Structure 1
Amino acid sequence: MAGFRKPDVAREQLVLWTHRLDDSLPADHSARLVDELFGSSAFKPLFADWARQYHLLEGQPPYHPRDLAMLYCYCMLNRIRSSRQMECACSNRLDVIWLMSGQKPDHSTISAFVRANHKRVKDLFGQVVRVGIEAGLITLRHEAVDGTNIEASAGRGLVYKESTILKQDQDIEKEIAQLEKEYQDNERREGLLCVTDAADVPEDERLRRLREKRGRLRQALGAIQRRRDEKSREDVPDPKPIASTTDPDSRVMKDKEGRSKPNYNAQVVVDAGEGGALMIVAADVNDAANDSGQLMEMIAQTQETCGKLPEEFSADAGYNTGRELADLEEQKIRAYVADKSDGIRTKENQDAVRAVREGRTLSLPQIEALPIDPHTKLLHRSCFAYNQQADIYRCPAGQTLTLFRMGKRYDREGGLERKRYKTAACGTCQLASRCCKNPIKGREINQTEFEGVKQRMRDRMKSDEGRARYGLRGQGVEPRIGVLKSVMGVRKFLRRGLASVKSEWLWACLSLNIGILLRHPDRIRSVMQ
């Protein structure tokens, strides 16, 4: 029996010839490519400008921003996210030791670097995108937009109602006032007993913590009021008056499992066109409860980062608002935005709706095939055909719904002009039980000022070209979000506050883009020359 393998090197063995640090990594190791990329001419001006913000006057020389940026991005690519884990990697991982040339920044230095450079990371992200464009990895033919909820660094147990937060704020205010009075009395007595200036005594730790907690409570109250002011629809209740006292900028949202907890809404735009490498071209974070109203903002960020407007965009139904569709048309931006379900799921549904729009009398099978709205359990709005010239609607029973009132409607898009159509024939109609809740009041159809632009988008999405172009979205943006959350581990933010989580999300997207560049070394080396 040959026995077990023996150690290659005995720990106590003296060696005559030592290895170089450079010998610890193979020639094609990803750490070498990261160092080559960040040290190339494409990034030298950016890091030179970054280094000029340091005041090198006295004290220990600081770490170069290029080294700390490399460390953060490389560690993110290897699922090392916290500053303490990065500090540990600088001492224990050969690839990180090589990348940092043996430098060992502690966790506070790494954390302070990220915290102090919210704007700089955006510049670095933009430069990586420009390198991708020059290398042909970003084509700007089709950009797909999507959002996902990322859990905030705040527990569900520290989410309180507005009344509870107000009570806590009042209690802390009384406690702070009492402590301050005690300290003032003590200082007065000490001033009479000794010559030492009592003002030089450091602030009590308890008082400092109370003031910090009071600040968080008031931030939470401010967040509740801000969200209440943002409500644009008058016929719905105010948002729940609750907020997290740990991270007041986060908002309580439901995740896919139906659990309510503090979250942020993270947005990404991915270059999903043919010939591209699915790089992220824009990223942002906000506290919005949904994606409504965010499409134009992400398009503007994409244009700013890339230097020009891409050929087309795609987004899911969460971004579909009449106002933004109108803005897309006005700015001549070609987009493919899904609409909420029109209830047409089968060929029978489609044939029945087509018969209504063509003015034909429906057969019994066609009546049974009319699509049903999943929310109201009544005939879907798509079953009513609109005649633009006569400004009337025709229902499946052949009755005419005429305009009877005009007014303003307030919803998630703000104030919209609204037309309301109705007929008096519902009371005797055989379809009334399937069409309206109260046949005496009848069925009412509402139409906003953006009905035309919404219908044009529906027609575009139903075309063969629309289905094909929209299909690129599922191949691009959704897999990238999956990589960020499942592969890189960004399911929960480590930092608190909107500005900090924006920066953390940008670092994650930037690191993912660098990982894509590393898979195409020959193409990026042509740009780095």
Structure 2
Amino acid sequence: MGGKVVFKEYDPDQLTFLPYKLEELVPQGHPVRIVSKVVDQVDVKPINRKYKGGGASSFHPRLMLKLLIYGYLTNTYSSRKLEEQAQQNVHFMWLLGMKKPDHNTINRFRSEKLSGVLKQFFSQIVQLLVAEGIVSLKEAVFTDGTKIESAANRYTFVWGKSIKHNKEKIKSQLDELWKYAQTLAGEERLDTSPTTFTEVNAERVKQTIASINAALAEQEDVDPKVKQKLKYAQKHWTENLKKYDQQEKLLGERNSYSKTDPDATFMRMKEDHMLNGQLKPAYNLQISTQEQFILNYSLHQTSTDYQTLPSHIDGYEALYDTLPKAVVADAGYGSDENYCILEQKGIEAYIKYNIFDKEQKEGIKDFSNDSLHYNQQENYLTCPMGQRMQHIGDGQRITTSGYVQIVSRYQAANCHNCPMRGVCHRSAGNRVVEINHSLRKHKQAAKERLNTDQGIKYRKRRPADVEPVFAQLKHNHGFRRFLLKGMSKTEVEIGLLSIAHNLRKWKA
């Protein structure tokens, strides 16, 4: 038989001679101490300026900043959960000096006081990392993007194409009503407005419907369906057009937005739990990292990565008054505009173009545009059979970002009976190709740069530097959806998340 079982003494009502000090319950080197130490070093004057004098006293901005940063570091994102932690969690109690802000105070501070200024604190913390020699602002950075879902309702679509279609429909029906009124009442009964409507607006539609009603008022044989349509038009069209105008202002250059978060754009998400490629309201988060520390972040309303790079780099320069030596990114950023901008700023672009990986495996196809030899001095191309392709003109293409590209067109002199015609091209006449010489030059330079020893090192390092950061934020720490709505508030959330990530990694 075994010996007698002995239990440790347990008496929850037992008194202690002295109360515990919270200081003794927080181990040295604990992340909460790192947060407290770092936030004590940042300048909080930008937040102080947002407070108005008078009234009841407020919690100190430094206290509130510590609460939110440590909350995001411990995956506590909800203001109600943060309120609960401040009352129950020893580490939060030590950090706050036993102060207990409620969830409304926490949410107001996050939404209002940190809006527009948090990035200044983020940059100060990055500068501390620089001072420690952990990262460098002048070395290469690794840039990538991910989509994060908005807090908006997922099924509140407003589409730019739908607005355009509805306006065209009103314009077409108004034109039909006008022509019907002309036929029935005679042009002398109508005003001098044009008989076709190139565009419609609320005021003009209102006036036109009034004119049609007046012209048909004395007519006895008006089609009942026309009367019904006029009645509907008078009741709805003017208000609908006002609504469409307002929606187009909210859209701006986008093609969609959410009714419950107008700043969010509908995007396809990789994390698709329904596995049906469903569009969801989201924001495009861009980060630049080094040694898996976030050096810059920016939030965008466009789903395409290449459009985000110019403003992202401008943001980096505004934060630190310097630029990185190089930007390393995948093919999603390889555009003529981006290559040009980085070249002008003196930044080395280790950025793939759309077919770089394919070319590495298979080489350049014999009959592709890029395979055609270009004689710059005489401005002609040479086709695979050695025939000159003469320059026949230039044109312009304007990208969605407004960047103007110059496109040159070249045409072969005679493709008739060419033995290679079937694999070279399938058009009816002689082959015509369009070449963007600026892009072609940048692609060639990028290819040479990416295949240097340094370029190969950067290409190997990029997926191991920036992509794990997204895995940390979204998968390990469960931040897949914003809690707040609107660009200014979601930028605050990303700022807190980025600061928390850097401090968590600094500790590690």
TM more than 0.5 = yes
Q: CA deviation at 1:388?
A: 2.2
1:494 aligns with: 483
Where in structure 2 are the equivalents of 1:223-242 lying within 5 Å?
Answer: 223-224=250-251, 226-227=252-253, 239=255, 242=256
Cα offsets for 1:388-415 (capped at 9, x unmatched): 2332223333333221222222334633
Per mean C-alpha deviation after superposition, the further-off stretch among 310-319 and 145-154 is: 310-319
Matched AA of 2:150 = A
Q: Distance in 2 between matches of 1:73 and 1:4?
A: 47
Q: CA deviation at 1:85?
A: 1.3
- Say whether 1:37 aligns with 2:38: yes
Contact 2:268–2:280 (CA under 8 A) maintained in structure 1: yes
Larger Rg: 2
Structure 1: tracts of 5 or more residues without a match: 168-214, 229-238, 272-276, 354-369, 372-378, 520-529
Q: Distance in 2 between matches of 1:398 and 1:84?
A: 73
- Say whether 1:261 aligns with 2:280: yes
Contact 1:433–1:439 (CA under 8 A) maintained in structure 2: no
Q: Distance in 2 between matches of 1:132 and 1:306?
A: 13
Matched AA of 2:250 = A
Contact 2:264–2:282 (CA under 8 A) maintained in structure 1: yes
2:176 aligns with: none
Q: Distance in 1 between matches of 2:49 and 2:6?
A: 54
Cα offsets for 1:336-370 (capped at 9, x unmatched): 111111574466x43xx4xxxxxxxxxxxxxxxx3
1:477 aligns with: 466
Q: What secondary structure, in the 3-state scheme, does the structure 1 residue paired with 2:374 have?
A: strand
Q: Evaluate the alpha carbon distance shift between residue 418 and residue 164 of structure 1 in structure 2; reply closer, same or farther with a 3 A threshold.
A: closer
Contact 1:384–1:396 (CA under 8 A) maintained in structure 2: yes
Q: CA deviation at 1:52?
A: 5.6
Q: CA deviation at 1:424?
A: 4.2
Q: Distance in 2 between matches of 1:450 and 1:149?
A: 28
- Say whether 1:506 aligns with 2:506: no
Contact 1:404–1:422 (CA under 8 A) maintained in structure 2: yes
2:323 aligns with: 309
- Say whether 1:436 aligns with 2:425: yes
2:249 aligns with: 222
Contact 2:115–2:492 (CA under 8 A) maintained in structure 1: yes
Q: CA deviation at 1:432?
A: 3.0
Q: Distance in 2 between matches of 1:259 and 1:3?
A: 64
- Say whether 1:339 aligns with 2:384: no
Q: How many residues were matched structurally?
A: 423
Q: Distance in 2 between matches of 1:402 and 1:316?
A: 35
Q: Distance in 1 between matches of 2:96 and 2:243?
A: 37
1:420 aligns with: 409
Q: Distance in 2 between matches of 1:56 and 1:406?
A: 63
Matched AA of 1:408 = Q
Q: 1:382 aligns with which of 323, 346, 370?
A: 370
Q: Evaluate the alpha carbon distance shift between residue 414 and residue 32 of structure 1 in structure 2; reply closer, same or farther with a 3 A threshold.
A: closer
2:342 aligns with: 328
2:12 aligns with: 11
1:65 aligns with: 61
1:103 aligns with: 99
Cα offsets for 1:90-137 (capped at 9, x unmatched): 122221122112222111111100111212311111110111111111
Q: Distance in 2 between matches of 1:57 and 1:288?
A: 42
Cα offsets for 1:60-88 (capped at 9, x unmatched): x2111111111111111111111111111
Structure 2: tracts of 5 or more residues without a match: 167-241
Per mean C-alpha deviation after superposition, the further-off stretch among 300-309 and 71-80 is: 300-309
Q: CA deviation at 1:429?
A: 3.0
1:197 aligns with: none
Where in structure 2 are the equivalents of 1:83-482 lying within 5 Å?
Answer: 83-116=79-112, 117-140=114-137, 141-161=139-159, 220-224=247-251, 226-227=252-253, 239=255, 242-256=256-270, 257=272, 258-271=277-290, 277-342=291-356, 344-345=358-359, 349-350=362-363, 353=364, 370=365, 379-412=367-400, 414-440=403-429, 442-482=431-471
Q: CA deviation at 1:159?
A: 1.2
Matched AA of 1:94 = V
Q: CA deviation at 1:386?
A: 2.3
Per mean C-alpha deviation after superposition, the further-off stretch among 282-291 and 50-59 is: 50-59
Matched AA of 2:498 = C
Q: What secondary structure, in the 3-state scheme, does the structure 2 residue paired with 1:109 have?
A: helix
1:74 aligns with: 70
Contact 1:68–1:113 (CA under 8 A) maintained in structure 2: yes
Percent identical pairs in the alignment equals: 26
2:190 aligns with: none
Q: Evaluate the alpha carbon distance shift between residue 509 and residue 93 of structure 1 in structure 2; reply closer, same or farther with a 3 A threshold.
A: same
Matched AA of 2:299 = V
Where in structure 2 are the equivalents of 1:44-59 lying within 5 Å?
Answer: 46-47=43-44, 50-51=47-48, 53-55=50-52, 57-59=54-56
Q: Evaluate the alpha carbon distance shift between residue 343 and residue 64 of structure 1 in structure 2; reply closer, same or farther with a 3 A threshold.
A: closer
Q: What secondary structure, in the 3-state scheme, does the structure 1 residue paired with 2:436 have?
A: strand
